[in-house]
Amino acid sequence: MKIIVLAAGEGKRMWPIQTDKCLIPFLGQPLLYHNLKKIKENLDGEFVIIASSRNQDGVESVARNLGLSYKIVIQKNPTGMADALLSAKEELDGEILVVNAEDVLDQSVYQGILKVSADVVVTGLKVKKYFPGGYLRLDGNSSSTSLRNGKVKGIVEKPGKGKEPSDLVKLVVDCFKDGKLLVSYLEKVSSEKDDRYEVALDQMIKDKIDLRFVNYDGAWVPLKYPWHILDTAAYLLSKLKRRISKTAKISDKAIIEGNIVVEDGVKIFEGAIVKGPAFIGKNCIIGNNSFVRESILEKDCVTGFNSDITRSYIGADSWFHTNYVGDSVLEGDFGMGSGAVLANLRLDNRTIRIGKEKIDSSRHKLGLICGFGVRIGVNASTMPGVRIGENSLVGPGVVLKKDLKENQKITIKENSYETRNYEVIPTSYDQFRDKLE
């Protein structure tokens, strides 16, 4: 079997996060590492990874680290799933399995799909609310409650809420007995929308190709928007087993509870509390009276005195001191002045809506989302769901209520805010780290 991994997507909806989705680090390794490792442990086969010129080096590094038998194919112009597969059409022969690089799934999905015998087997997941993706049209009752694995009568892409042909969303875990069949259909169908792959599958059904589905009921964590990083983090944290490095220095007056991974070189000072599940990356420092719970701190982060970090994703080289960070996604190299707060809850308890488009995150708690190199001044605060582009600065005392683009500086001037272009000045916290004992 050849395992075709779709890893070239642009992630246009992920702003302000700049790292390719599949290369975002979780628990010290790129997301792609976790997903490919799970596939390797459950399936035998050669990997064909469709990457972009931008992420090729990172993708290849993951494949080498895992010791995979692999080939990298570059998709020159990321114009959808069909184009990605056709860019690798010379490799699509024999039995193939097509998967997304960044979708998090339980290992049972790979075991289950091999149990169904057909020309094409797709994976369906029962959902309770509308998801803007492809849906399976089945025989009989539109509800999948009474249906198990069986024949698919059609595939409908993004039918709209209330128009779903069933409650089964089609995941991208699709097995083809002969990859050349898929290539032939992708080359002969067309669509004005970004659904050529789904159109090809639908045409196969019309042409009486034996296309069946397997009903998967495990976890599914898609990564469509930046706040989904919190969902991915929560899933991976839920699988942690307690492990504390022998090189970590933890005060006997600190409290460490639950399933926690503490990596090499970590220091945890007196009065600090870390409650699992949590991941503390290499060389992180958890300062006196700081509280870290249900969060990921990637390598080289420092939480200074009396900081509270809750249910958040903290990228590498971030720095805190007397701060509150709730349900936030901070890509890395992030710094907060003393007393700054990242708010995460509306007082009316409504779900957090994002940006001018008012995208509903479906989350009641969501803090700041920001790219690399952001700085927040002393006693500043950001409102729930605000986004900040990389290398921008929020001045002291500012209450940031709306998104801030890249390389911008917002300050208070004569009791009013002034926003202007900002040229980042390279800084490093290494000069302070060496003074911490």
Q: Give the pLDDT band (50/70/90) at residue 423.
A: confident
Poorest-pLDDT segment among 43-52, 184-193, 418-427? 418-427
pTM of this prediction exceeds 0.85:
yes
Which pLDDT value is given to residue 437?
A: 53
- pLDDT exceeding 90 applies to what percent of the chain? 77
Which pLDDT value is given to residue 152?
A: 87
- pLDDT exceeding 70 applies to what percent of the chain? 95
At residue 156, does pLDDT exceed 60?
A: yes
Q: What is the mean pLDDT of residues 25-42?
A: 96
158-186: per-residue pLDDT in tens? 888 888 889 899 999 999 999 999 999 99
Rounded mean pLDDT of the chain? 92
Which pLDDT value is given to residue 146?
A: 39
Q: What is the mean pLDDT of residues 175-199?
A: 90
Q: Give the pLDDT band (50/70/90) at residue 140.
A: low
At residue 321, does pLDDT exceed 50?
A: yes
- Residue, of 114 and 270, whose pLDDT is higher: 270
In the chain the domains, ranked by start, together with CATH numbers, are: 2-221 (3.90.550.10), 228-433 (2.160.10.10)
At residue 415, does pLDDT exceed 80?
A: no
Q: Give the pLDDT band (50/70/90) at residue 113.
A: confident
Write the secondary structure of the chain as one string of H (helix), E (strand) and C (coil): CEEEEECCCCCHHHCCCCCCHHHCEECCEEHHHHHHHHHHHHCCCEEEEEECCCCHHHHHHHHHHCCCCEEEEECCCCCCHHHHHHHCHHHCCCCEEEEECCCEECCHHHHHHCCCCCCEEEEEEECCCCCCCEEEEECCCCCHHHCCCEEEEEEEECCCCCCCCCCEEEEEEEEECCHHHHHHHHHHCCCCCCCHHHHHHHHHHHCCCCEEEEEECCCEECCCCCCHHHHHHHHHHHCCCCEECCCCEECCCCEEECCEEECCCCEECCCCEEECCEEECCCCEECCCCEEECCEECCCCEECCCCEEECCEECCCCEECCCEEECCEECCCCEECCCCEECCECCCCCCCEECCCCEECCCCECCCEECCCCEECCCCEECCCCEECCCCEECCCCEECCCECCCEEEEEECCEEEEEECCCCCCCCHHHHCCCC
Which pLDDT value is given to residue 126?
A: 92
Q: What is the mean pLDDT of residues 339-343?
A: 97
Poorest-pLDDT segment among 11-20, 144-153, 341-350, 400-409? 144-153
Which pLDDT value is given to residue 12?
A: 84
- Residue, of 291 and 434, whose pLDDT is higher: 291
Which pLDDT value is given to residue 246?
A: 97
- Residue, of 75 and 140, whose pLDDT is higher: 75
Which pLDDT value is given to residue 129?
A: 86
Which pLDDT value is given to residue 431?
A: 61
Q: What is the mean pLDDT of residues 222-239?
A: 96
- Residue, of 422 and 406, whose pLDDT is higher: 406
Which pLDDT value is given to residue 143?
A: 44
Q: Give the pLDDT band (50/70/90) at residue 145.
A: very low
Poorest-pLDDT segment among 123-137, 282-296, 340-354? 123-137
